[in-house]
Every structure is written in C-alpha cells, then in structure tokens.
Amino acid sequence: KEILEKIEKWLAACEEENWLDEKYNR
C-alpha cells in the first residue's frame, strides 16, 4: 500500500509539472 501511495503522489506531481510547463510555454 505504501508503494501505491508513493506512485500516486509521484504521478500527481508529474501532472502538476506538465500543467505548469504548458502554462508557461503559452
């Protein structure tokens, strides 16, 4: 269960980074 939680947090962080990249690139 701990590993899944870490993966979910990592994926959420990646989505936030991608969102920021798209926002600043525009």
In the predicted structure, residue 20 carries a pLDDT above the cut 90: no
In the predicted structure, residue 10 carries a pLDDT above the cut 80: yes
Distance in angstroms (rounded) separating the CA atoms of residues 9 and 12? 5
Segments making up each domain of the chain, as ranges: 1-26
Distance in angstroms (rounded) separating the CA atoms of residues 22 and 2? 31
pTM greater than 0.85 (yes/no): no
